[in-house]
Amino acid sequence: MSFRTLRHTAAVIASLLVAAGCSTGSGPRGSAAEAHPAPGTSSTPPVTASASVPTESSVVKPNIVFVLTDDFSMNLVQYMPNVRRLQQEGTTFTNYTVTDSLCCPSRASILKGQFPHNTGIIKNHGSDGGFLLFNSRGQEKTTIGTDLQAAGYRTAFLGKYLNEYQPRLTMGTGKPYVPPGWDQWWVSGDAYKNFDYLINDNGRVVRYGKQPKDYLTDVMTAKATGFIKAGAASGKPFMIELSTYAPHLPFTPAPRDATLFPGLTAPRTPAWDRVPENSAWLAAKPRLTPAQIAAIDRYHRLRAQSVQSVDRMVGTVRDTLVKAGIADQTMVVFTSDNGYHMGEYSLPAGKQTAFDTDVNVPLIVAGPGVQAGREVPHIVENIDFRPTFSEWAGAPAPTESDGRSFVPLLSGALPADWRTAALVEHHDPASDPKDPDYEKDSINVPPSYDALRSETFTYIEYVDGKAEYFDRVADPYMLKNVVGTLTPERLAELRGALRGLATCVGPDACWTAGRALR
């Protein structure tokens, strides 16, 4: 029996122990929104492992359902009963960090398993970012999709791809372009309103209108269930990425959800309308105006409404897996490309900062061998999806990935050489009005920066030489920059570790740099 098979079998045994009540992990936190269930909430039963331990001949490669939301923040989970159920039945990574709080750089990191300085994608469009650069650099030749196809998987990509991608683009092929690695391709461009959009449907451009039946997330859900049913019937493993536009600006909810949560306002956390002490870039920021506060409250309500369709999608997909008899053979992953701030730090709605509101987003995994109701505090980044998916598929680790598989963390193990800090890099901020992430209030956008985020602190260096250090144990809302209290030795250590990560090239060098701090 192979090492991989032994490990898989051990993971299944662990899941059986959890099902028998032997888990020692803590349960999910309570929710303030229990009184606001989404309409049409799925009644997906808990998914548990089979009662028999598989032999080598019966072990199969798990299917993978990857749900990637857009601009999703931690405070929206409470309004999503199906996602909360996923937490209860799976594992949550509390220190999951994106490589850049901006759509395209983060999504490129997911596809390639590389930091933005290695993908070359540091912006949403133009000469230093976007789909056109990603394609021209040959980055699509090897991605999560091509890895899994080569491992025998049937693959599908639905929804939002990379900024600048448009369904009618041919990229010299003579027909609407479909990137390598995807057997099924149902992808739009600039469909942020979720209505009146074009789709490249496997090389054929289709227009959807403005009727309730055309709401993009709902259409995507129907397409996903069809793909899953076909995959179950074929007996071949599959991977499907469900990449929503929700809850990105303009925060358009499905018509059935447009009246939910009347009177809901944005959370007034300790960071609400408060500039951090000794801020390196926000010292002169005025307090929020009444008009800005009213807009933020309205936006938060729209965001809570818009994620109801995403929550139904999660429930419907999991129902489909159960009915198809493959729930115990399928890994379900829920996350976002980046977070979103709304009123914290006296900032209007937006992202791109190194605050946890923008870089620390949900990562929830459920499936065979995954412990239920458990939280993992170790540092995981979006560059880790590609090697993780490869391990699930029984494929070699990608040779170009800067990350590592987090499969051991799902079984409760912590490799001795696991990273101690995540890299967040943000350069050439989205300051072009043509960019969908453009923020007209320029003070809302930080200067370019590199940052280290560990389990306990965040250290940031800005392009102008200023720095910030937040002790997130003593100061969880990041309200006091205490970089001035650090010793010269500690500051030198942080600077060296950050430089090492921000300039690393190649998997070995980047993994070593991520362990520079102990």
H-helix or E-strand spanning residue 449: strand 449-453
CA distance 158 to 221: 9
- Segment 381-397 mean pLDDT: 97
Q: Residue 47: its pLDDT value, please?
A: 42
Render pLDDT for 437-486 as a digit per residue (tens, 0 to 9).
556 665 678 999 999 999 999 999 999 999 999 999 999 999 999 999 99
Q: Residue 39: its pLDDT value, please?
A: 37
3-state secondary structure of 138: coil
Q: Residue 441: its pLDDT value, please?
A: 60
Q: How confident is the model at residue 287 (pLDDT cuts 50, 70, 90)?
A: confident
Instruction: Give the list of residues 6+ apart from residue 172 with CB closer than 8 angstroms, or none.
Output: none
Q: How confident is the model at residue 126 (pLDDT cuts 50, 70, 90)?
A: confident
CA distance 511 to 418: 8
H-helix or E-strand spanning residue 231: helix 216-234
Contact 375, 25 (CB under 8 A): yes
Residue 36 clears pLDDT 90, i.e. is over it: no
Contact 42, 82 (CB under 8 A): yes
Q: To which residue do tokens 């159960």 refer?
A: 322
What's phi and psi for 261, nearest 5 deg?
55, 50
Q: To which residue do tokens 């991977």 refer?
A: 239
- Segment 185-214 mean pLDDT: 97
Query: What is the full DSSP assignment across 382-447?
Result: GGGHHHHHHHHTTPPPPTT-SS---HHHHTT---TT--S-EEEEE-S-S--TTSTT--SSGGGSPP
3-state secondary structure of 494: helix
Contact 286, 194 (CB under 8 A): no
Q: To which residue do tokens 């996903």 refer?
A: 224
Q: Which of 417, 351, 341, 352 is nearest to 379 (CA)?
A: 417
Q: Residue 247: its pLDDT value, please?
A: 98
Choose the catalytic residue: 103, 104, 504, 510.
103
Active site residue 103: yes
Estimate the share of the chain in helix, then strand, then coil, as percent rounded to the nearest 5: 35, 15, 50
Give the torsion sign (CA, 497, 499, 501, 507). negative
Within 8-124, strands assigned E span 63-69, 91-93, 96-97
Render pLDDT for 161-189 as a digit per residue (tens, 0 to 9).
999 999 999 999 999 999 999 999 999 99
123 vs 315, higher pLDDT: 315
Half-sphere exposure of 218 (CA within 13 A, CB side): 18
Size of the chain in residues: 518
Q: Residue 16: its pLDDT value, please?
A: 36
Helical ranges in 113-215 per DSSP H: 116-119, 131-136, 144-150
Residue 360 clears pLDDT 90, i.e. is over it: yes
What's phi and psi for 96, nearest 5 deg?
-80, 135
How does DSSP classify residue 60? -
- Segment 362-388 mean pLDDT: 97
Please provide the average confidence, as pLDDT, over all residues in the chain: 89
Nearest 10 degrees: Cα torsion 291, 297, 303, 306: -90
Determine the Cα angle at 11 with ends 6 and 14, to 5°: 130
